[in-house]
Structure 1
Amino acid sequence: MSTPFTRRHLLVTTTASVLVLGLAACSQDAIDGEAAEGETFTLVAGHQLAADTPFDEGLDHFAELVEEYTDGQVTVEVHPNAELGTETEMFQAMQSGTMDVAIVAPGSIAEFVPETSILSMPFLVTTREQRDAIIEGPIAEELAGSMEETAGIFPMTYFGGGIRQMFFTEPAQSLQDVEGRLFRVQPSEVLTDSFAAVGLEPTVVAYNELYNGLQTGVVDGAENESVFIDSQKFYEPAPNILVTNHEVTIRPLVVARASLDRLPEDVQEQVLQAATEAGEFERDLEAETDDEILQQLGEMEGVTLEEADVSGAIDDVRPVWEEYAAQWGAEDMLQQIIDLREDA
């Protein structure tokens, strides 16, 4: 019997054959920057969230714009719900040439380009205005250069804009209330150290096991954006939401440089323009959706929503930011991000 990984590998291999037929057989005209008449290309794209989420709608919009701007010369195949693997597996598939485009969180990219984690440090990027200044300025440009040089992959644009909150099985009105509680984190040293610094007891639990872990007491709490607190029904075992606004999500939409370079130069520009517009569309959609769902959660019977004072947490976690920035040689970048804060 094939394992889940094997089945996923087979799907990647199948979609890769489309890529090979669509891209690897390019004519000399395409290599020289001009497409042969009637020549078409297929880009394989994926993400790990469910269909009909803002990520999925954003990637679908990218596919529609690419087809429109290239007059059907380029088609984007969108695979949601981790059909092509985890974010790490998709990133590796892009490096090996078996897929082309993916939405990948900074924490997943960090395995290949560690300094990318600076975009998702808790309590560091806390407003959408600060996020915009990062992704539209020299910080994003520097990270993109590092990513392309190290991994051969770079961001075309950025999705995200949901704001992460904490939620607990027992009542919580402040960060002081939750000190010592077992708190689910992703497998990341940065996240573990950051949440430990504010008094929580971080423990790694697989995302697909989190609901059961909250039910059975394996963990007392976790953190996520409101859209996923709602869609995964985490509010059922953990109805006490502490509004900490500790991270505005920044999710790069990345492309393999080798995949882009196979396209004629004019078509590359059209694809990149489509990505820019899709990023703006998705960020607006995600922000609107996130705000609406957080309000809806607060109106649900049995769910509590408490605003938290996080000023002390910022002081507690700052040494963690500084420690990791020093490891990555990103001290200047960290200071630039801090300088963009409203409370700097």
Structure 2
Amino acid sequence: MSFISRRTVLGALATTPLWSMSSVWAQSGALKISHQFPGGTISEGDFRDRLTRMFAAEVSKRTKGSLKFEIYPGSSLMKTNAQFSALRKGALDFTLVPLNYAGGEVPEVNIGLMPGLVTSYQQGAAWKNAEVGKELSRILLEKGVIVVSWIWQAGGVASRTKPIVDPADVKGLKVRGGSREMDLILKEAGAAVVTLPSNEIYAAMQTGAMDAAMTSSTSLISFRLEEVSKSLTTGRDRAYWYMFEPLLMSKATFERLTKEQQAIVLAVGGEMEQFAQSAARLDDSGVAAVYQKAGAKVVDLNAATVKKWQDIARTTAWKDYAAKNDNCAKLLKLAEKLL
């Protein structure tokens, strides 16, 4: 994590008496990391699972074993949508989760999957040290959550039928958008919205309960959606769908660590970001080969098509989000500065 971000987090917590605690608490049991993605190893599998394992190994190494971790992939510890709330309460130590999943609890976080607001990895990465990132971090800290690694992923669309390219292509279809804001756009375009976590998409498409699903390139691969799809729209060249999927830590857990342990957690978290972006980009390209091999038709987006989605987003999703509360309006304005 950058010096500015670390200073923001550490400074906000500097007045707590828990700073003086020893590492006895941390040594008494492993810290739990929960996520919804398929499990693998530190070198093989879904990069989000790999990232949590790399993070855990490096933090454990630098703290000389005073911090140990247990990783629970595939929502094996708790249901996907329960993770953010558990983090806030201190019932879970870490999670790597699409931030917008918590939008029902904290409306501001829906900015993490605001269609058309982030259109490149460079732009997403710039959020961390920009005003929008500082404001989002402040809001999350007030809610008991700390961003450890800033991770963005481009998304695509898997379809049981025709490719989903223009907004008009979703008319009459049952589509999973992945966020309230994406759902607003889909409804405007004439789709019937289906709401569920990405790890439940396969079953819904297999049974016909869903015609198409928008999700990250990595999830398009990891959840084997090529087995139930005839078409794929990739995000490898251009995308209107970028998702903020950070590694998050409970503030309550963070406060129980020593200053040295806190600094190590934040430093390693920041170092993971380069790996995450490289892995996400590889999956943006790799997903096309996976679907082509399975016999699916693969298409890409052009600038004109991205703008069509963005134009609808401005008058539906962006407008709706800004009207939620003052924080949302401020975050949107700050994010638009980076467009």
- Normalising TM by the smaller chain, what interval? 0.7 to 0.9
Q: Which moved more, 1:63-72 or 1:276-285?
A: 276-285
Which residue number in structure 2 is paired with residue 121 of structure 1? Answer: 114
Report the Cα distance in structure 1 between the residues aligned to 2:18 and 2:94, rounded to whole angstroms.
20
Find 1:278's aligned residue among 272, 276, 281.
Answer: 272
**Equivalent residue runs for 1:6-17 within 5 Å:** none
Cα displacement string for residues 287-325 of structure 1 (whole angstroms, at most 9, x for unaligned residues): 22x134223135425211122322222111211212212
Secondary structure of the residue that 1:178 maps to in structure 2? Answer: helix
Q: Classify 1:192/1:252 alpha carbon distance in 2 versus 1 (closer, same or farther; 3 Å).
A: same
**CA offset at residue 63 of structure 1?**
0.5
Report the Cα distance in structure 2 between the residues aligned to 1:210 and 1:34, rounded to whole angstroms.
44
Tell me whether 1:226 sits opposite 2:224 in the alignment: no
Which residue number in structure 2 is paired with residue 238 of structure 1? Answer: 229
Of the two, which has the highest radius of gyration?
Answer: 1
**CA offset at residue 70 of structure 1?**
0.8
Report the Cα distance in structure 1 between the residues aligned to 2:176 and 2:250, rounded to whole angstroms.
29
Tell me whether 1:152 sits opposite 2:140 in the alignment: no
The one-letter code of the counterpart of 2:261 is V
**Equivalent residue runs for 1:285-304 within 5 Å:** 285-288=279-282, 290-297=283-290, 299-300=292-293, 302-304=295-297
**CA offset at residue 196 of structure 1?**
1.8
The one-letter code of the counterpart of 1:189 is R
Report the Cα distance in structure 2 between the residues aligned to 1:30 and 1:73, rounded to whole angstroms.
17
**CA offset at residue 184 of structure 1?**
2.7
Find 2:299's aligned residue among 306, 309, 322.
Answer: 306
Greater per-residue strand proportion: 1
The answer to whether the 8 Å contact 1:45/1:99 transfers is yes
Report the Cα distance in structure 2 between the residues aligned to 1:107 and 1:173, rounded to whole angstroms.
23
Unaligned runs of 5+ in 1: 1-28
The answer to whether the 8 Å contact 1:84/1:90 transfers is no
Report the Cα distance in structure 2 between the residues aligned to 1:265 and 1:141, rounded to whole angstroms.
21
The answer to whether the 8 Å contact 1:182/1:203 transfers is no
The answer to whether the 8 Å contact 1:58/1:279 transfers is no
The answer to whether the 8 Å contact 1:240/1:304 transfers is yes
**Equivalent residue runs for 1:311-326 within 5 Å:** 311-320=307-316, 321-326=318-323
**CA offset at residue 74 of structure 1?**
1.0
Secondary structure of the residue that 2:171 maps to in structure 1? Answer: coil
The one-letter code of the counterpart of 1:336 is L
Moved over 4 A (4+): 33-36, 38-41, 205-209
Secondary structure of the residue that 2:299 maps to in structure 1? Answer: strand
Q: Classify 1:199/1:311 alpha carbon distance in 2 versus 1 (closer, same or farther; 3 Å).
A: farther
| TM-score, L = length of structure 1 | 0.80
Report the Cα distance in structure 1 between the residues aligned to 2:232 and 2:99, rounded to whole angstroms.
25
The answer to whether the 8 Å contact 2:171/2:189 transfers is no
Report the Cα distance in structure 2 between the residues aligned to 1:121 and 1:323, rounded to whole angstroms.
11
Q: Classify 1:181/1:236 alpha carbon distance in 2 versus 1 (closer, same or farther; 3 Å).
A: farther
The answer to whether the 8 Å contact 2:167/2:186 transfers is no
The one-letter code of the counterpart of 1:340 is L
Find 2:324's aligned residue among 318, 322, 327.
Answer: 327
Which residue number in structure 1 is paired with residue 334 of structure 2? Answer: 336
Report the number of matched residues. 309
Which residue number in structure 2 is paired with residue 175 of structure 1? Answer: 166
| TM-score, L = length of structure 2 | 0.81
Q: Classify 1:283/1:174 alpha carbon distance in 2 versus 1 (closer, same or farther; 3 Å).
A: closer
Tell me whether 1:101 sits opposite 2:97 in the alignment: no
Tell me whether 1:68 sits opposite 2:68 in the alignment: no
**CA offset at residue 93 of structure 1?**
2.3
Find 1:44's aligned residue among 23, 26, 32.
Answer: 32
Which residue number in structure 1 is paired with residue 3 of structure 2? Answer: none
Secondary structure of the residue that 1:184 maps to in structure 2? Answer: strand
Report the Cα distance in structure 2 between the residues aligned to 1:79 and 1:209, rounded to whole angstroms.
17
Identity of aligned residues (%): 22
